[in-house]
Structure 1
Amino acid sequence: DLSINGMWTERLEDSCEKPDEHPTPLTKQQLEQLVRSLILVEQSQELRILAPEIKVLQEDLQLKKANVYRSIPYSRFGSNRDAHCYRKAFPYLLAFKVSCQEWGQVLLRRKEWDAVLEHSLMAWLYTSELPQWDTASHNALREQCYGVLAAHILTALQHCSLEPSRGHELLRRLKMAQLQSQSIVPCIQELQRILGWAQHLDCDL
């Protein structure tokens, strides 16, 4: 099970929400290491599948995004995007980021270039649907996700062989992704180079 329901959630909550069992609060670095280790456990159970189905990875991202929203306390008064709500959601935001990063790396190691592109663009959409926090610095994790996904896309583009029709489709999708973050621009430039459109770069961007 790739979700953070069940045992995964219990272990995360045990580490993050029970101070009597952990007198010293976890630092962000320790928490990131914890989340990464839990997701690697998930992956170790799934790696017997030769090529993870994109649908399975999509369900994983859907569940992790949903868990972010479930973790945000409901408030009839005031903002539910303030620092208090961000702290509640942070472990689940981190789980989302690590999932994007680690599953993308699994696909890269397997040289599943087309799957890397599809997974990264799908994860890009889910990243754009994460909460927008009141404090600008709290949105840094979203930008980190975009940066990771853009790096995965760029690597895949540099290694894959694209039919012209597939290249044009990807270019359209990458330009749509640019509406969320400029991190995708190097990917657009690389794909235009591949398609022989480098001379139009300045006009298109």
Structure 2
Amino acid sequence: MAAICQSRRALVEIPAPQPKIAARMRKSYLEILSTQTRHTAQSHVMDLPIDAWSGRIQEQCVRMVDHTPLSEQQVAQLMRSLILVEQSLEPRILASDLKYLQEDLQLKKANVYKSIPYSRFGSNRDAHCYRKAYPQLVAFKVSCQEWGQVLLKNKEWDAVLEHTLMAWRYTSELPQWDTANHNALREQCYSILAAHSLAALQHYRPQPSRARELLRSNSFISFFPFWLCSSIHNINVYGNHLKRCPFRSCVYCGIPEFLPT
């Protein structure tokens, strides 16, 4: 009987208290302040311009020549600086390849349609669907604006016109929303692209053969910008453009006529 009681006591025996885990201990006020100052210092370092980053890269390389081992924080800073310098050169390289820009616009447009919920009653162009697609619409607008600015900065005038027509087509394929105010981003994209093309035409005037080539390659556009119509036959846009426009349709005319010759 005594043996049974002893075994029962062994079953209900309270285990010894375990030591506290360091991660669960409450931090002191000074420790919290030190972590906050460390994060602010790192964020201040990340805000440096590209020239400052290149200078820091040279300093890190000099230290590596001395065969001094780098800490984990120094290695992380070196990797961040290399990534930032590479990203600063990336737009110039990518912008020269319009195929990449076309794929980017195609992806942004596809994301717009993917974000629209279709498994619901009612219209899929109402305010609810617009709110779901709004972030992707903004991303599409930013893509049109930033890549056009990169091409203008590189003074690639012909590429600006080609990118404008390409982006114009993808903009025309964006959803038409039930509420007129919700189509404001679409109109803003048109305004941005028109501004880019007019800025390029101030420095570059395409030959009629080149303009016809651009229009034939983009013949599926529902309407053409009037600046390209006028650039082919030197038509006065604000004059007798309506009667002399040789294109299927344009922004200024708005009336279908016939395909370019």
Contact 1:127 1:146 in 2 (8 A): yes
**Among 71, 79, 96, the residue aligned to 2:140:** 96
Aligned residues: 159
Match of 2:235 in 1: 197
Distance 2:177 2:88 in 1: 33
Residues 135, 58 of structure 1: alpha-carbon distance in 2 compared, 3 angstrom cutoff = same
In percent, how many aligned pairs have the same letter? Answer: 67
TM-score when normalising by structure 2: 0.53
Contact 1:107 1:115 in 2 (8 A): yes
Match of 1:24 in 2: none
**Among 190, 194, 214, the residue aligned to 1:146:** 190
Secondary structure, in 3 states, of the residue corresponding to 2:93?
Answer: coil
Match of 2:211 in 1: 167
Distance 1:64 1:124 in 2: 14
TM alignment of 1:84-123, pairs within 5 A: 84-123=128-167
Q: What is the Cα deviation at residue 189 of structure 1?
A: 6.4
Q: Deviations over 1:38-68 (max 9, x none)?
A: xxx8964623517530000001001111111
Q: Show structure 1 runs of 5+ residues with no match.
A: 1-40
Highest Rg: 1 or 2? 2
Contact 2:116 2:130 in 1 (8 A): yes
Secondary structure, in 3 states, of the residue corresponding to 1:63?
Answer: helix
Q: What is the Cα deviation at residue 151 of structure 1?
A: 1.0
Contact 1:157 1:190 in 2 (8 A): no
**Which structure is higher in RCO with an 8 Å CA cutoff and minimum separation 6?**
1
TM alignment of 1:177-196, pairs within 5 A: 179=223, 184-185=225-226, 187-188=227-228, 190-191=230-231, 195-196=233-234
Distance 1:153 1:121 in 2: 9
Residues 84, 44 of structure 1: alpha-carbon distance in 2 compared, 3 angstrom cutoff = farther
Distance 1:101 1:51 in 2: 13
Which is helix-richer, 1 or 2? 1
Contact 1:71 1:88 in 2 (8 A): yes
Distance 1:174 1:197 in 2: 21
Distance 1:191 1:128 in 2: 22
Distance 1:75 1:89 in 2: 15
Residues 91, 50 of structure 1: alpha-carbon distance in 2 compared, 3 angstrom cutoff = closer
Match of 1:71 in 2: 115
Secondary structure, in 3 states, of the residue corresponding to 1:139?
Answer: helix
TM alignment of 1:6-155, pairs within 5 A: 44=88, 46-47=90-91, 49=93, 51-155=95-199
Distance 1:174 1:62 in 2: 15
Q: What is the Cα deviation at residue 169 of structure 1?
A: 4.0
Amino acid at match of 1:149: L
Residues 147, 43 of structure 1: alpha-carbon distance in 2 compared, 3 angstrom cutoff = farther
TM-score when normalising by structure 1: 0.67
Q: Show structure 2 runs of 5+ residues with no match.
A: 1-83, 246-252, 254-261
Amino acid at match of 1:191: S
Secondary structure, in 3 states, of the residue corresponding to 1:47?
Answer: helix
Q: What is the Cα deviation at residue 125 of structure 1?
A: 0.5
